[in-house]
Structure 1
Amino acid sequence: MHLPFTPNHILLISACYPPSASLLTAGPEYRPNSQELSRLTYYVTNRPGKVHKIGSELERKVRVDSRKAQAGNIRARASLLITLYIFKTLATECRRDIALLSASLIASVNVTLSALAGDLEVAARAASVFTAWTTYTDGHLIGVDRNITQDYIACLQGFACMGGTKLPDHEVQNRTRLVGLAALMAAVNSEALFHPSTHFKPQVSIIMHALLTSVLEVDVATLEHEAAVMKEHPNSPYLDEFRTRPAIERRAASIHLHIDGDTGPSSSDVANASLRALSSLLGHSNGGQAASVMVAAFETFDDVEGWERAPNCRWLAAKAAEWTQYQYRYAIPTRLVESLAEGQDTPQTTARHSSLAMMITTVFTSPTPLINLSTSDIISNLIGFILRRVSINPDDPLLPALVACIASLGTHVYYADQIQDLAAELIGRLVLVETNGISGVGKLNREKGRVQAVRCLLAGLLGLIHAADTHEPPKDGTQDGETSSKVGTSSTLPAPDSATHDVHLRPSRRTRVSPETWQETLTLLCDIEYPVRADYSAALISYLQSEIPKLGHYADAEEGVKRRPLEEGPSRQANTMQALVYGDSTTKLLNALHAYLYALATSSTLGLHSGSPGPTPERSFTSNASGEKDGRASRESPQSRERRSATLSSRARKTSIIMRVLQQAPARLTLPVSVSATLSDYGNILGVLQAVQEHLPVRGLLTGVPMLLALERAVESEGTSPPPHVFRTIKEVVIRAWITIGKVWKCSEVVEAAEKVIATSSTTNLPGVPQVHPGTLQEPRVPIPLPSESADIGDLPEFSGGDFVRLLATSQNVQEATGLDEASLLRRMLTQWSAESAYREAVEGRTAYDSLRGDGISPLIKVAPALMNIDNMSLQSLARSTRGVGVTDLREALEGRSSVSNPNLANKAPSISTLDHTSSIATGEQFHKLAPTRSRPQRSKLAGPGEVREVLNKFGIGKQTGNSLLKSPFPAQKPQQRSMPVAPPYTA
């Protein structure tokens, strides 16, 4: 019975409830009277101004009924269920005015969850109301209305608690979790999550805790199964287009409890619901939001100790990258690397570090393509993290995982020069560590830290290159039917016989790591520590086998002979011949390589690294920088000058040490013999020499044979008995190298003669080059020492390398491949050789091959100023250019480069020689200037007033001279007479 003058909306609401005596029999549906509910919705739809009043009245009833139901009142519980049903109907029917109903609806859901969270039926009805609201709201009230925002966050927390609850009854626990996950699924697809950008992170932090709880509790096999089910039976097409549909066309999902008597939901069902919500969340996120999702996942792992479940973490990282939109996937690995770097100063390695490192590797080795990824920043962060961990503990157990992270970056090649750029970054840091060591390490661990850092970077470099060649199309001589896949052997990469269907295999069309870049690492052959020398020898052989450019060669699979193929066109054949015979960047690498091998085999002291930085040979670079008192030097910041100074100092110091070591390499070993190399080193030397001859036969022959002859001369017997064991070992290395050369060139005479020498003398079992697994950091190797001098080793093998050279010179294969006759071959291979001279040839700025190609400047331009020192505009025709003198010429004249950039501006033609071009590597005192060959004294880098005045005169500014090559377009005017003459500004 209602009081008089009761408002109409209250009467309509009251009519929806059954009589008080019938409330207990309203179950199990607990729905209002359908006819009266229709009248209420019709009333509200036609009077939007009454929505707020109706919502307030329903909220009041929810608060009263919730309090009574919490105390055990059964009728109040039934009334509460009916009220919540009315809320859901109003939210659906009044979707246009949902903002007017939001405050009361969200508050009612929050009150219900706070009072009766343990009542699964009530919680499911509240979840249905919440789902209806999230379906139709636009999210504009979140973050604007304080009360609505607080109630909404409280609702999320309530459902998140249900989604991650743990109960003794496993079936009830799964039912409760499904209800909470259903509500969170609605929130994930709602505008309320994505519209307020400032509240995205707090919401995601709450949601991810519930989603990941179930993911971490099941094994990876279950997760894989549920992910496959999701692919076969994805979310409804309607749900996929949910956020793109207008609110008027959306349909709210219904949440139903499990029917009693049926089999209860399993953990797989709960995991499936969590994965669907997680995939939807990542699929709707942009780059920044995806990063926030990963941060929330990391926080959840910290709270529930999820880092201990490394397989689940790895699987989740791979799926996160797959589920994120294509253009935003870069955020996943980037955030992983950033999170890993945040803990670089932790004294002890934790499960978080290990899991993050494995997650990074998993993302990069997965078949999911990534774009917009800054690989340079990632590898820089990883290198810095490795160096920091080494400085804390050289034996950090995290180092192998970090090496695998660097190697995995080569799995996806996004642009042609990516591997070349990443390798250059690695090699640059490798050279700095080799020279300067590791900062922040105690004196006791300084050398150990340097060795470990070098080994880590070297392992990462080798793994990076091999990962980039996961699959390649058939190469020279490989038939289509033959297997041509080349799979890296990293522990994170599949084996060649792997049957995995999601293996990332794609053709590699990348730029190879250039010999100029790799040449910086050759000093590691003579490192003072054997573990570094052993690892580098294996890496060098791998580089020679699969990475170094092999110009004009192919492999004959049947005979194993490397030959130069016939190429179409005489011009291309000539260019190839010039590169092979006269040398190119690969020849420079081989020259330096043989110099280091000779030094390693004969030197009594090794090591290019000094414990302390020591004094810097300033003369090696100050002559170039001394003139920069103004101009470019003044424009540089102090930080850039400091970095460049440090680089020059390090490079100059390294070059000076290299030259000192090579100069000390003896031309002939004398008694008593003292060498630093071990028996394992000689085995590595032989392996490198064989790799050079087998994979670079032409250039290896022309650069390696003189070194072998020099090594043979160094150990010539002096008639002593017994001979030193070092002599016999070096001779065995040389004779076995000759056997390889004879086999490569199919010169049976050389092979038979060398094998006869081996058969008639006692041999030592030279250890082979250690096997490496690219992408993995192996234990440091222990060298095998040379036998004691008291051991009986027998006579030295007697042979003459000159005879082998003469046999090779008469070989038709050698003559055809090199294009040289017998006399030319003898002259090239019998030339006098030393380690110092070979290194000089390696570091010169220009080679004979460059001279043959030319420097790009027309010969007519070079001689034109001398032949045509006249005022003639036709000189420009020699340059094949119509460009006149401009501001650039003036700038270059101020910096002293006018004669190089524009020879027409010079009065005299300098006589240019290749000896003037020095290498940027050879900055030592001995290589700064080889010989002054210009016909006139060299100018300083900054031009004097004369050159600047000359260019200004060519512009027509100032006094005109008769020797000017360019005339001003207007005749010079006679200046007005003044009482005091005024000098041009550039004469001051």
Structure 2
Amino acid sequence: MHLPFTPNHVQLISACYPPNAALLTAGPDYRPNSQELSRMTYYASNRPGKINKLASELEKRVRLDCRKAKAGNIRARSSLLITLAIIKALATECRRDLPLLTASLLASVNVTLTTLSSDLEIAARAGSVFTAWTTYTDGHLIGVDQSITQDYMSCLRAFTALGRFESQDQEVTNRTRLVGLAALTGVVTSEALYHSTQQLKTQVSIFMAAFVAPLLVVEVLSLDQEVSDVKTQPNSPYLSDFRNRPTMERRATSIHLHVTGELGPAGKDVANAAMRALSALFEHSNGSQAGVSIQAAIDSFNEISAWDKPEHCRWFAVRAAEWTQYQYRYSIPTRLVECLVQDQDAPHTTDRHRTLAAMITSVFTSPIPLVNLSTSDIISSLISVILRRVAKDPDDILLPALVECIASLGTHVYYADQIQDLAGELISRLTAVETNGVPVNGKSDLGRVRTEAVRCLLAGLLSLIHAAEVHDVSKEDGDECKTVHRAALAESGLTVHVEAEGKSARADGHVKPSRRASVSPEVWQDTLSLLCDGDYSVRADYCSTLVTYLEREIPKLWDFTDVDGVKRIRPIAEGPTQQASINYSVLFGDATTRLLNALHAHLYVLATSTNLGVATASHTPSSQRSVNGDTADDKSQGEDTEENAPSRRSLALPRTRKQSVMQRLLRNIPAKLSSFASVSATLSDYGNMLAVLRAVQLNLPIRGLLTGVPMLLALDTALQGETSTDAASVQRVQAIRELLAQTWLSIGKVWCCQGVIDIAQKAIPDGYENRLPTLPDASQGSFHAPRTPVPMAESAPEGSVRALDTEGLLLALVSCETVQEATSLDRQGLLRKFTAPWSAESSFKEDGQPPSANLRNGDGLAPLMKVPHAFMPLENLSRASLARSTRGVGVTDLREALEGRSSLSNTNLRETAPSLSTLEHTSTAHGEMHKLAPVRSRTSQQRNRFAGPGEVKDVLNRLGIGKANASGMLKPSFTSKKTESRITSNLTPPYKT
């Protein structure tokens, strides 16, 4: 019975409650009177101005009942449950005017959870009310109204505490956590979370630990099973697409407790609920929001001590990237790298560092596509972390994990030049570290810091290329283990068997066409100076990396692969033109040839130099080590101020610095050595050199032959000047002789030249055991401990390798028909090519020069170079372009002559540009596909007015048209039929038997 003058809204609310005597028996549902509740909600929905009064009255009742229930009043507890049900019904029916109800609703839920958080039934009912509000709110009041924001954040903390509840009773723990996670799931599917990025950061930092903690108590295999359940059985269509439905069509979920007596929820059920919430969180986030979420997860790992469970952390990182929208997935690994960079200056490596690196690697190696990923920024950040950690401690246990991070970038290739760009970034930093060292603070072993930094970057470079290669291989018949490296085919045009991932390529070379560009020789050439590094571990690691590059990465000629993966020869469409380009590249050089010239120069220095490495002058005492590990007490080196000035430690012009260092090393090598006792190379260095030379001859047989044989002859000539008889000198002579014999033996086998094989085998006595150590296998994808060299024996070895018959080797090689056909050179041409004066300095200079345009001594002489000087005078600048052209005289030349090209020697025409200028451009026939730059041409009238009938007649006579050329100057100028047919004929591969 209501008292007189009771307000109408109070009467409507009071009518929803059962009589006081029935409150004790209202359970277990504790529902209000349905008829009276409908009347109240109808009243509120038709009179929005009364909603505030209704909400205030209900808030008063909640506060009163909470105070009484906390004291043990059972009726007050029942009344509180009914009041919360009334608030939920009011929020559901008055969803259009929910902002009028928000303040009282959040205050009521906050008071309830703060006062009676231990009562699980009341917490579940409060969670249902909170979920109803999160379902229909637009979130505009969060961050605007201070009181509402404080109550909302307090509710989040309360539900987070329920989600992280711990108890000795596992069933109670799981039931409580399910209640908290259910309420928080309503938050991650609400506009209240995503309306403001600033508020999202605050909210996610509060409840993220509740989502992550349940995942750590379940095995990873069980988590994978639960993930599949989440995909196949979504929670509710209203949760998965809540943003696509208008507010009026949404439906709020209710939180129900576990029924007493039934089997309680297990830990995997709690993990399932947490995964559903996490998947909804990342699925509904954009790039910045996903980054905030993963940052909050990393912070929660510190709070719940999750770093000692790397498997769970890696699983979480991969699933977070998978759950994020396709176009925003890049934010996950990017934020992980940023977190690693923030901790790069930590004094010691912790579980956090190792686990973060493992998470980054797992995300990159997963099959999840990561579009819009800035790989260049990521690899730059990882390189910076490596250098910082090495500067702190050369033996830092984080270095192998960082190398794996760099390698994992190779599994995501999104554009053709990506791997080349990443390799270029690594090589640029590698050359800078090689030349300038790593800045360190305090007393540190500068030489060891530099060595480990170079080795780390080398391992990252090798692993990056290897990962990209494995990622870009073919899978035959669904066999995931059988992979074939696409660059393993030899230059000769025949297929060879190549080991890849423990399997062999098929004999027909059935390979998948590459989706990426190989690392160009121009980029790789900056690393060759590591062959002559002062530290053996660097030299050994680089030799392994170099051999892998030569075998699998360096561009090779005649390697045609169609879309279906079958290698074919194109004799009609591309055969003659491509063949001419190949001939020119082989005879006169291309990027690969320049790399090989520099490579053989460095190998010669390694085999004969008495001083390896780079010394840097400083103002410190002479006993202090330089950044290259060498002492700075060499006066001759210290006086070279231009090359050793402290200002050169900057990153500017590393290539210029390296060239100057190489030039200084070359000046210390005489033409003939009188003693090899003081040579710095170890026995292992000669074994590594043999592996490199074999890789060159096997993978680049033509260009390797033309550039390598002169170096082998020069090295053999240096041995002839050996006069010392001490044991050390004799041992090195024997090592070099064995190196030369084994290399010549490989050349003979590659070209099937029995004469070379016989002569090379004669130099090796019967029963002789190879003393040169083998090159260790490249550790692809990992960072190994420094390798130690095998020193020379203390005494002279038993048995000796005889001196090679170089004249017989040359005669046998140049007489080989296979070599002649492959190089398009006859016996005399090959002999001139091989016996041309060679030195390491001249070969090193050629590495940076473009292909020579002087074709006077070659068999492929351009026809227009032999046109009489009267037709092309020396002062005519256009001759420079014609010198690089290989096309013959035809109709076009005759038309140009008629239009006035014969008068180009006229001084009036020298300032007028031709219609297409080829000056300072390389011809397309030389393999460099550069387009000619068109310029403004003269009109035909302008040209014709300078070309009179007499001039045209004179030109025709000089070309041999109209009357016989009695002088005979033109006849011998063009290439003979024999030479021309040899140039345009298909080359026979060197592997032909």
TM-score range, shorter chain: 0.7 to 0.9
Contact 2:913–2:936 under 8 Å retained in 1:
no
Q: 1:773 aligns with which of 770, 779, 800?
A: 779
C-alpha distance in 2, partners of 1:253/1:616? Answer: 82
How many Å apart are 1:183 and its aligned residue?
0.3
1:952 paired residue number? none
How many Å apart are 1:235 and its aligned residue?
3.2
1:319 paired residue number? 319
Contact 1:861–1:903 under 8 Å retained in 2:
no
How many Å apart are 1:663 and its aligned residue?
2.6
Contact 2:69–2:77 under 8 Å retained in 1:
yes
How many Å apart are 1:609 and its aligned residue?
4.5
Assess, with a 3 A threshold, how the Cα gap between structure 1 residues 482 and 206 changes in structure 2: closer, same or farther.
closer
Assess, with a 3 A threshold, how the Cα gap between structure 1 residues 94 and 443 changes in structure 2: closer, same or farther.
closer
Contact 2:569–2:575 under 8 Å retained in 1:
no
The residue type paired with residue 703 of structure 1 is: T
Q: 1:820 aligns with which of 808, 818, 825?
A: 825
**Pair 1:686-2:690 in alignment:** yes
How many Å apart are 1:8 and its aligned residue?
1.1
The residue type paired with residue 428 of structure 2 is: G
C-alpha distance in 2, partners of 1:446/1:269? Answer: 55
C-alpha distance in 1, partners of 2:787/2:545? Answer: 14
Contact 1:858–1:879 under 8 Å retained in 2:
no
Contact 2:156–2:206 under 8 Å retained in 1:
yes
How many Å apart are 1:693 and its aligned residue?
0.2
Assess, with a 3 A threshold, how the Cα gap between structure 1 residues 794 and 759 changes in structure 2: closer, same or farther.
closer
C-alpha distance in 1, partners of 2:394/2:854? Answer: 45
**Pair 1:661-2:665 in alignment:** yes
1:652 paired residue number? 656
1:52 paired residue number? 52
1:594-617 deviations in Å (ceiling 9; x for gaps): 111111111111113536489898
1:360 paired residue number? 360
**Pair 1:867-2:923 in alignment:** no
C-alpha distance in 2, partners of 1:482/1:191? Answer: 47
Deviates more, 1:801-810 or 1:148-157: 801-810
The residue type paired with residue 708 of structure 1 is: L
1:739 paired residue number? 745
**Pair 1:535-2:573 in alignment:** no
Assess, with a 3 A threshold, how the Cα gap between structure 1 residues 336 and 648 changes in structure 2: closer, same or farther.
closer
**Pair 1:11-2:17 in alignment:** no
1:138 paired residue number? 138
The residue type paired with residue 818 of structure 2 is: N
C-alpha distance in 2, partners of 1:609/1:543? Answer: 28
The residue type paired with residue 224 of structure 2 is: E
**Pair 1:829-2:867 in alignment:** no
C-alpha distance in 2, partners of 1:793/1:510? Answer: 51
**Pair 1:697-2:701 in alignment:** yes
How many Å apart are 1:869 and its aligned residue?
2.9
1:899-918 deviations in Å (ceiling 9; x for gaps): x998999xxxxxxxxxxxxx
How many Å apart are 1:716 and its aligned residue?
2.4
**Pair 1:712-2:712 in alignment:** no
**Pair 1:583-2:589 in alignment:** yes
1:62 paired residue number? 62
Contact 1:134–1:190 under 8 Å retained in 2:
yes
1:798 paired residue number? 803
1:740-787 deviations in Å (ceiling 9; x for gaps): 111111112222332233234744421111112212110000100011
2:941 paired residue number? none
Assess, with a 3 A threshold, how the Cα gap between structure 1 residues 707 and 390 changes in structure 2: closer, same or farther.
same
1:890 paired residue number? none
1:177-219 deviations in Å (ceiling 9; x for gaps): 0000000000000011111332111100112011011112222
How many Å apart are 1:443 and its aligned residue?
5.5
Work out the number of aligned pairs and report it. Answer: 846
The residue type paired with residue 434 of structure 2 is: E
Secondary structure of 1:531's aligned partner: helix
Assess, with a 3 A threshold, how the Cα gap between structure 1 residues 564 and 459 changes in structure 2: closer, same or farther.
farther
Q: CA RMSD in A?
A: 3.4
The residue type paired with residue 593 of structure 1 is: L
Contact 1:487–1:495 under 8 Å retained in 2:
no
C-alpha distance in 2, partners of 1:858/1:263? Answer: 93
How many Å apart are 1:43 and its aligned residue?
1.2
**Pair 1:310-2:310 in alignment:** yes
C-alpha distance in 1, partners of 2:410/2:711? Answer: 36
C-alpha distance in 2, partners of 1:70/1:426? Answer: 66
1:372-429 deviations in Å (ceiling 9; x for gaps): 1111111111111111111111111111111111111111011111111111111011
1:518 paired residue number? 524
How many Å apart are 1:799 and its aligned residue?
2.3
C-alpha distance in 2, partners of 1:744/1:720? Answer: 35
Q: Which runs of 5+ in 2 are unaligned?
A: 488-499, 504-510, 562-566, 619-625, 627-636, 866-876, 883-900, 919-932, 939-993
5 Å-filtered alignment, 1:106-185, equals 106-185=106-185
**Pair 1:782-2:788 in alignment:** yes
Contact 2:676–2:722 under 8 Å retained in 1:
no
1:634-661 deviations in Å (ceiling 9; x for gaps): xxxxxxxx99994555433321210111
Assess, with a 3 A threshold, how the Cα gap between structure 1 residues 868 and 238 changes in structure 2: closer, same or farther.
farther
Contact 1:523–1:608 under 8 Å retained in 2:
no
TM-score (ref. length: structure 1)? 0.81
How many Å apart are 1:441 and its aligned residue?
4.7
The residue type paired with residue 824 of structure 1 is: G
2:611 paired residue number? 605
Q: Which runs of 5+ in 1 are unaligned?
A: 489-493, 498-504, 556-561, 623-641, 882-899, 906-988
Assess, with a 3 A threshold, how the Cα gap between structure 1 residues 20 and 850 changes in structure 2: closer, same or farther.
farther
TM-score (ref. length: structure 2)? 0.80
How many Å apart are 1:681 and its aligned residue?
0.5
Assess, with a 3 A threshold, how the Cα gap between structure 1 residues 276 and 496 changes in structure 2: closer, same or farther.
farther
Deviates more, 1:692-701 or 1:201-210: 201-210
C-alpha distance in 1, partners of 2:827/2:111? Answer: 100
Assess, with a 3 A threshold, how the Cα gap between structure 1 residues 773 and 796 changes in structure 2: closer, same or farther.
closer
**Pair 1:592-2:592 in alignment:** no
How many Å apart are 1:820 and its aligned residue?
1.1
The residue type paired with residue 337 of structure 1 is: V
How many Å apart are 1:479 and its aligned residue?
15
Percent identical pairs in the alignment equals 54
Contact 1:471–1:506 under 8 Å retained in 2:
no
Contact 1:602–1:666 under 8 Å retained in 2:
no
The residue type paired with residue 145 of structure 1 is: D
Secondary structure of 2:720's aligned partner: coil
1:951 paired residue number? none
Deviates more, 1:441-450 or 1:18-27: 441-450
2:678 paired residue number? 674
Deviates more, 1:650-659 or 1:564-573: 564-573
Assess, with a 3 A threshold, how the Cα gap between structure 1 residues 486 and 307 changes in structure 2: closer, same or farther.
farther
Secondary structure of 2:908's aligned partner: coil
The residue type paired with residue 771 of structure 1 is: D
1:920 paired residue number? none
1:936 paired residue number? none
Secondary structure of 1:767's aligned partner: coil
C-alpha distance in 2, partners of 1:644/1:607? Answer: 16
How many Å apart are 1:99 and its aligned residue?
1.0
Deviates more, 1:319-328 or 1:746-755: 746-755
Assess, with a 3 A threshold, how the Cα gap between structure 1 residues 353 and 718 changes in structure 2: closer, same or farther.
closer
C-alpha distance in 2, partners of 1:484/1:423? Answer: 23
C-alpha distance in 2, partners of 1:117/1:444? Answer: 57
